[in-house]
Chains A and B, each alone.
Chain A
Amino acid sequence: MSASADLSLRRIILEMGTGNDLYGENYTKAACRAVQDAIHHSSLLLFRSLDIDPATMEIAVTVAAQQPDAVDREAVARELPYGRVSVEVTPGGLDIDHPDTGRRSVIVNVALDVRVPIPAR
């Protein structure tokens, strides 16, 4: 990268996804599935088209789950192959209790804000 390049982080995409754990009540597993859902609805071809290093990508993950403290943020971050990742967990998603079995299905949403350094024109 040339020293004179005036690079600024610009958002190129917001990827959204939903995941669940139907029986295990594992919010981290549901969150990881939501991330996989989010990232596999698109392919960021511009890294190859424009020779941009994907390691320069910054990804801000927002996870929404009914029990935010039960989400392992590092495990969520490990789902992403490239980039500098931050994970924030907020209350949200949806839990469904099954009275007949005493179990619970958990549904988790994620949004991935993806930013890439782009030279200013």
Chain B
Amino acid sequence: MPRRRMVMELGMGVDIRGRDATEAACRAVENAIRQNSLSVADAFGLAREQMLITAIIGVQAPDEVDVAAVAALFPYGQVAVEVRHGGMDAPGNEGTTGPTLANAVVLVDLDLPEDHPALDAGQTRREFAVPEPGGTAA
């Protein structure tokens, strides 16, 4: 079935003192998914459990992220978690441990049935302006 990318959600999370990459990653995912209420699956006639979710985490210590703990945050959907080097370990103050920042991107795809009318390109097709990379802000 044609898999189409529907929505990207973005978030950032911090563990202030603990240097806990999993805590920061979980907060980043919560920040991403709790600021939106998604109804794309229903809008396209699918069950929300059919959402195909890819969570991509950026932290400085990717090996320390408990991937299962991150996946458990999603109330429904088929979840894959990917952890990359990124985020930030912010500087501490006078010898203390600094905050650990995690970035999270959550990609939501749907496998639409072959005969879904929304796949009929040209039905509502319009050209629209998307800013070019490196372009200046309007």
Known: A13-B38, A13-B39. A120 touches B6 (CB 8 A): no
| Complex interface bits, A6-49 against B, C-beta within 8 A gives 1, otherwise 0 | 01001111111100000000000000000001101111111111
Instruction: Identify which of A7, A17, A49 contacts B5 (C-beta below 8 A).
Output: A49
- CB–CB B37/A46 < 8 A: no
| CB of B124 within 8 Å of the partner chain | yes
Q: How many angstroms between the C-alpha atoms of A60 and B79 in the bound complex? A: 31
| CB of B45 within 8 Å of the partner chain | yes
- CB–CB A41/B39 < 8 A: no
| Complex interface bits, B42-53 against A, C-beta within 8 A gives 1, otherwise 0 | 111100000000
**A interface bracket (residues with beta carbon within 8 Å of B):** 35 or more
- CB–CB B36/A42 < 8 A: yes
Instruction: Identify which of B4, B9, B35, B40 contacts A12 (C-beta below 8 A).
Output: B40
- CB–CB A38/B35 < 8 A: yes
Look across to chain B and name the residue whose beta carbon is closest to the beta carbon of A48: B130
Instruction: Identify which of B4, B5, B117 contacts A5 (C-beta below 8 A).
Output: B117
Look across to chain A and name the residue whose beta carbon is closest to the beta carbon of B107: A45
Q: In terms of DSSP, what is the predominant structure of the interface of chain A? A: mixed
- CB–CB A121/B36 < 8 A: no
In the assembled complex, the CB of B136 is this many whole angstroms from the nearest CB of chain A, namely 15
Known: A45-B8, A118-B43. A16 touches B125 (CB 8 A): no
Which residues of chain B are within 8 angstroms of A49 by Cβ–Cβ distance? Answer: 4-6
In the assembled complex, the CB of B42 is this many whole angstroms from the nearest CB of chain A, namely 8
- CB–CB A12/B128 < 8 A: no
Look across to chain B and name the residue whose beta carbon is closest to the beta carbon of A52: B124
Q: How many angstroms between the C-alpha atoms of A102 and B19 in the bound complex? A: 40
Instruction: Identify which of B4, B37, B120, B125 contacts A13 (C-beta below 8 A).
Output: B37
Q: How many angstroms between the C-alpha atoms of A80 and B72 in the bound complex? A: 34
- CB–CB B6/A46 < 8 A: yes
In the assembled complex, the CB of B43 is this many whole angstroms from the nearest CB of chain A, namely 4
Q: How many angstroms between the C-alpha atoms of A15 and B61 in the bound complex? A: 31
Can you name 9 A-B residue pairings with CB atoms under 8 Å? A5-B117, A10-B42, A12-B43, A13-B7, A14-B39, A38-B35, A43-B8, A47-B128, A119-B123
Q: Hey, which bits of chain A sit against chain B, CB under 8 A? A: 1-2, 5, 7, 10-17, 37-38, 40-56, 82, 116-121
Pick the 5 closest A-B CB pairs, nearest first.
A53-B126, A119-B117, A10-B43, A14-B37, A43-B8
